[in-house]
Amino acid sequence: MDNQYIGGEYVAIKALDNNVQIIGLTRGDGTKPHHTESINKNEVLLVQFTENISAMKIRGKAIVLTKYGQLICGDEQ
Amino acid sequence: MDNQYIGGEYVAIKALDNNVQIIGLTRGDGTKPHHTESINKNEVLLVQFTENISAMKIRGKAIVLTKYGQLICGDEQ
Amino acid sequence: MDNQYIGGEYVAIKALDNNVQIIGLTRGDGTKPHHTESINKNEVLLVQFTENISAMKIRGKAIVLTKYGQLICGDEQ
Amino acid sequence: MDNQYIGGEYVAIKALDNNVQIIGLTRGDGTKPHHTESINKNEVLLVQFTENISAMKIRGKAIVLTKYGQLICGDEQ
Amino acid sequence: MDNQYIGGEYVAIKALDNNVQIIGLTRGDGTKPHHTESINKNEVLLVQFTENISAMKIRGKAIVLTKYGQLICGDEQ
Amino acid sequence: MDNQYIGGEYVAIKALDNNVQIIGLTRGDGTKPHHTESINKNEVLLVQFTENISAMKIRGKAIVLTKYGQLICGDEQ
Amino acid sequence: MDNQYIGGEYVAIKALDNNVQIIGLTRGDGTKPHHTESINKNEVLLVQFTENISAMKIRGKAIVLTKYGQLICGDEQ
Amino acid sequence: MDNQYIGGEYVAIKALDNNVQIIGLTRGDGTKPHHTESINKNEVLLVQFTENISAMKIRGKAIVLTKYGQLICGDEQ
Amino acid sequence: MDNQYIGGEYVAIKALDNNVQIIGLTRGDGTKPHHTESINKNEVLLVQFTENISAMKIRGKAIVLTKYGQLICGDEQ
Amino acid sequence: MDNQYIGGEYVAIKALDNNVQIIGLTRGDGTKPHHTESINKNEVLLVQFTENISAMKIRGKAIVLTKYGQLICGDEQ
Amino acid sequence: MDNQYIGGEYVAIKALDNNVQIIGLTRGDGTKPHHTESINKNEVLLVQFTENISAMKIRGKAIVLTKYGQLICGDEQ
Amino acid sequence: MDNQYIGGEYVAIKALDNNVQIIGLTRGDGTKPHHTESINKNEVLLVQFTENISAMKIRGKAIVLTKYGQLICGDEQ
């Protein structure tokens, strides 16, 4: 395993409701769900893009901090 | 697989309506749809340019955060 | 395929009318159309310069976000 | 072991209650809990992304300092 | 073909009249026209310096966005 | 030993009470305490992430200076 | 040919009169004219330093945008 | 010996009392005191992290200048 | 010839009188005139340091733009 | 000898009294005085960290300019 | 000869009197005059540090632009 | 000789009196005077750290420009 893997961008997600889902989608020829992590109200998930994941779908009420600013997921902004 | 793949730029998309479509278009000699991801109202998608995808088409009402600013997709700005 | 391909600059284009065309022109000895992508009113296209494309022509009403600022295509600015 | 491992991003977490849990999730093909660290009220944890950990879930009341700003975990913000 | 080709600087050109011409001039021992692209009123061209092109001549009314600022081509500024 | 080891991030900790503990947690497959350093009231510890340590737990009253700001450990902020 | 050639600095020149001349002078042991490009009133030339050209002489009325600011050529400033 | 050793971060310490102690703690598998330097009132010590030292403990009254700001050691701040 | 030659610093010179001379002085063991370029009133010369030239002497009335600011040559400032 | 040695950080010290001593302490397994330089009132010493020196102790009245600010040595600040 | 030679720092000197002398001093084991360039009143010299020159002495009235600011040579400031 | 030698930091010194001495001290195992350069009133010396010199002592009245600010040598500040 190569050590530069650890340098991928990360985002920070705070659930505003129970069962917020962060679905990692696979990098590469096909794009399919790789792993779903769920967090409950007020939990925080910090998550990187990795060798395996080049996209993330977020479902449910959450604050999402990205390098281009903040988005409110699951609700009108 | 090379570890620098993970450093591609990403954008953040928040759907403002159901069934917003993010269509990845292939890099390379031909340019054709590679994968379509759809997100529903208020869901968020974070998505990188990858080895396979050098363009993305977005259909439906959405906020798109890019490094050059924000665009409203699917509606007058 | 080399992994640094993914680091090309991208621009963001929002169509303000139907059938906005983004025509990729080939890099290299000859310069000819490589691929034409069209987007309809209010759709967004995010598109990189690639190994194959060193120029893009945009036709139709659109907002174009580049690293040197915004241009309105297809209309008086 | 490669020396660039030490350059991973870190975050800073201060517990606001007892038994705040920081659950490291594994990098790679599968994503499963790797290690859970718990800190009590007013303790601080500084923790990096590593070769083994590409995501962290935080449960319980805590201040989380990230490079995109501060989040309050376990409570309304 | 080397993958760093894609990192060349680009400029953005918006035609203010029909038949604006962007003439790429060849890099290397001789300097001669390599390719002429023409764009019509309100069309936009985004174009990189490449392995083959180290100069561009622009004829006709156009806005030219460069990293040192904006120039109006084909008209008094 | 490789000379780039010395470039790891460091944090600065000032004890506000006796017996503040800084517990280094091991990098790698397992995560367990590696070393505990304790400092007394008003002593300062400057400490890097290293090849062996990818997380640090701090117990007791202390000021912690990190690159994302200051935290008060062991007390309400 | 090496792909880093394309990274040379460029300048932007707008002719304010007909027959503005941009004379590329050769890099290397001798320094002699390599190529003369002429542009007419209101035309724009974007031109890089290259493997072959390490100096440019500009004759005639023109605006010259450089990384150290703007110069008016062919006229009192 | 490798020449990049000299690039380690340094901190600046000014003693405010006699016999301020700066205790270098060893990098690597074990963490134990490597060297203790003491400075008297108003003396200054500039000291780098090195191949051998990944942590420093400071005892006694002193001003400590770090890249994240200033700490007063050995006294209330 | 190596392609990094093209990255040398350049300066911009505008003649304020006829026959302004820019004398390139040779790099290396000896330092002697390598080439003299002369420009007439209101002409502009853009000129790089190169493999052959490590100093330039400017004679006559001219504006010289450098990265440390502007100098008026050939006249009181 | 490797040429990157010359890139070590330097500090600037101005003596405010006679016989200010700058004691270089050795890098490596042991830490012992390597060289003592003394400067008299109003003399200035500019001194780098080197392959041999990873710490410097300063005794006597002096101004010390470091990258984290200025310290007055040998006197109340 | 290596192409990175051309990247040395340069300074800009404007003579305020006749016969201002810029004396290059040799790099390496000995330090002796390498070359003396003289410029007359209002002439400008742009000059790099090179493989052969690691110091420059300037005699006579002149403005010297360096990266740390401007000095007036040969006269009270 | 390696071409990166030329990238060492430089400082700028202006003598405010006759016979200001800049004494280069040797890099390496021993530290002894390598070369003394003297400048007279109002002369300027620009001088780099080199492969041979890792410290400089300045004696006499002078302005010293460093990257951390200006010092007056040989006189009260």
Pairing of strands F44-48, H53-59: antiparallel
Six token digits for residue F8: 């790891």
What pLDDT, on the 0 to 100 scale, is given for residue D5? 57
Mean pLDDT of all residues in B45-66: 96
Mention every residue, 6+ apart, whose C-beta is less than 8 A from residue I63. Answer: G71, G77, I13, I14, I16, I70, I71, I72, I73
Q: How many other β-carbons are positioned within 10 Å of the β-carbon of residue D32?
A: 8
**Domain extent at residue A68:** 10-72
Q: Which residue has the higher pLDDT, I33 or H45?
A: H45
User: Length of chain B in residues, anyone?
Assistant: 77
Is I4 a domain residue? no
Percentage of chain K beyond pLDDT 70 is 92
What pLDDT, on the 0 to 100 scale, is given for residue C5? 58
Is K1 a domain residue? no
Mean pLDDT of all residues in F7-18: 94
The answer to whether G20 touches E70, Cβ cutoff 8 Å, is no
- Tell me which residue in K8, K54, K77 faces L50 most closely, judged by beta carbons: K54
C-alpha to C-alpha distance for H35 and H42, rounded to whole angstroms: 21
Mean pLDDT of all residues in I33-54: 95
C-alpha to C-alpha distance for C39 and C35, rounded to whole angstroms: 13
Predicted confidence (pLDDT) at residue L7 exceeds the cutoff of 90: no
Overall number of domains in chain B: 1
Predicted confidence (pLDDT) at residue E57 exceeds the cutoff of 60: yes
DSSP for D47-68 reads: EE--SSEEEEEEESSEEEEETT
C-alpha to C-alpha distance for A69 and B36, rounded to whole angstroms: 25
Which residues of chain C neighbour E66 with C-beta distances below 8 Å?
68
Predicted confidence (pLDDT) at residue K5 exceeds the cutoff of 80: no
Sign of CA dihedral D36, D37, D40, D43: negative
pLDDT band at D1 (very low <50, low <70, confident <90, very high): very low
With CA atoms as reference, the chain C residue closest to B33 would be C37
C-alpha to C-alpha distance for C20 and B75, rounded to whole angstroms: 15
Mean pLDDT of all residues in G24-46: 92
CB contact under 8 A, K66 and L45: no
What pLDDT, on the 0 to 100 scale, is given for residue G5? 57
Nearest alpha-carbon partner for G66 in G10, G3, G27, G22: G10
Q: If you count residue pairs, one on A and one on D, with CB atoms under 8 Å apart, how many are there?
A: 98
pLDDT band at A5 (very low <50, low <70, confident <90, very high): low
The answer to whether G44 touches G22, Cβ cutoff 8 Å, is no
Six token digits for residue A57: 């779908």
C-alpha to C-alpha distance for D30 and A70, rounded to whole angstroms: 29
pLDDT tens per residue, range A15-71 = 999 999 999 999 888 789 989 999 999 999 999 999 999 999 999 999 999 999 999
Question: How would you list the strands of the sheet with F33-39, edge to edge?
Answer: D69-73, D62-66, D10-15, D44-48, F53-59, F20-26, F33-39
pLDDT band at H5 (very low <50, low <70, confident <90, very high): low
Query: What residues in chain A have their Cβ under 8 A from chain D's Cβ atoms?
Result: 1, 3-8, 10-12, 14, 24, 34-35, 37, 39-40, 42-48, 50-52, 63, 65-67, 70
C-alpha to C-alpha distance for J4 and J9, rounded to whole angstroms: 12
pLDDT tens per residue, range K17-41 = 999 999 999 988 878 998 999 999 9
With CA atoms as reference, the chain G residue closest to I41 would be G74
Is H3 a domain residue? no
DSSP for K10-51 reads: EEEEEESSTTEEEEEEE-SSS--EEEEEEE-TT-EEEEE--S
- Residue G30 to chain E, least CA–CA distance (Å): 15
CATH number for position K32: 2.60.40.50
What pLDDT, on the 0 to 100 scale, is given for residue E76? 86
- Residue L7 to chain J, least CA–CA distance (Å): 8
Nearest alpha-carbon partner for B27 in G15, C5, L32: C5
Give the residue carrying structure tokens 């006249």.
I75
Percentage of chain H beyond pLDDT 90 is 75
Residue-averaged pLDDT of chain E = 90
pLDDT tens per residue, range J9-62 = 999 999 999 999 999 999 888 789 989 999 999 999 999 999 999 999 999 999
Mean pLDDT of all residues in C40-66: 96
Percentage of chain E beyond pLDDT 90 is 75
Nearest alpha-carbon partner for E38 in K72, F16, J66, C23: C23
DSSP for chain B reads: --GGGGG--EEEEEESSTTEEEEEEE-SSS--EEEEEEE-TT-EEEEE--SSEEEEEEESSEEEEETTEEEEESS--
Six token digits for residue F55: 């997380």
Mention every residue, 6+ apart, whose C-beta is less than 8 A from residue D27. Answer: A5, A6, A48, A50, A51, D51, D52, D53, D54
Query: What residues in chain E have their Cβ under 8 A from chain C's Cβ atoms?
Result: 1, 3-8, 10-12, 14, 24, 34-35, 37, 39-40, 42-48, 50-52, 63, 65-67, 70
- The pTM (predicted TM-score) of the whole model is 0.91
Return the exposure string of K22-46: e unless at least 16 CB atoms fall within 10 Å of the residue's CB, then b: bbbbbbeeebeebbebbbebbbbbb
Is E34 a domain residue? yes
- Residue K35 to chain I, least CA–CA distance (Å): 7
What pLDDT, on the 0 to 100 scale, is given for residue F5? 57
CB contact under 8 A, K28 and L44: no
Select from L27, L44, L54 the residue whose CB has the most chain K CBs within 10 Å, as the one to mutate to test that interface.
Answer: L44
Is F1 a domain residue? no
Mean pLDDT of all residues in K55-59: 97
Which residues of chain B neighbour A56 with C-beta distances below 8 Å?
45-47
Is C18 a domain residue? yes
pLDDT band at E5 (very low <50, low <70, confident <90, very high): low
C-alpha to C-alpha distance for F19 and D55, rounded to whole angstroms: 32
What pLDDT, on the 0 to 100 scale, is given for residue E53? 93
pLDDT tens per residue, range E23-41 = 999 988 878 998 999 999 9
pLDDT tens per residue, range F26-71 = 988 878 998 999 999 999 999 999 999 999 999 999 999 999 999 9
Give the residue carrying structure tokens 């109202």.
B41
Predicted confidence (pLDDT) at residue F77 exceeds the cutoff of 80: no
- What does DSSP assign to residue C34? E
- Residue C44 to chain E, least CA–CA distance (Å): 16
Query: What residues in chain K have their Cβ under 8 A from chain I's Cβ atoms?
Result: 1, 3-8, 10-12, 14, 24, 34-35, 37, 39-40, 42-48, 50-52, 63, 65-67, 70
The answer to whether B20 touches B13, Cβ cutoff 8 Å, is yes
Is I58 a domain residue? yes
Give the residue carrying structure tokens 């998505």.
B47
Percentage of chain G beyond pLDDT 70 is 92
Which residues of chain K neighbour I29 with C-beta distances below 8 Å?
52
pLDDT tens per residue, range J24-34 = 999 888 789 98
C-alpha to C-alpha distance for H29 and F37, rounded to whole angstroms: 14
Mean pLDDT of all residues in L60-75: 96
Is C55 a domain residue? yes
The answer to whether E47 touches E13, Cβ cutoff 8 Å, is yes
C-alpha to C-alpha distance for L4 and L6, rounded to whole angstroms: 5
CB contact under 8 A, F49 and D50: no
Six token digits for residue F76: 């309400």
Mean pLDDT of all residues in H14-22: 97
Phi, psi of L26 (to 5 degrees): -75, 145
The answer to whether I57 touches K43, Cβ cutoff 8 Å, is yes
The answer to whether H53 touches H27, Cβ cutoff 8 Å, is yes
What pLDDT, on the 0 to 100 scale, is given for residue B29? 80
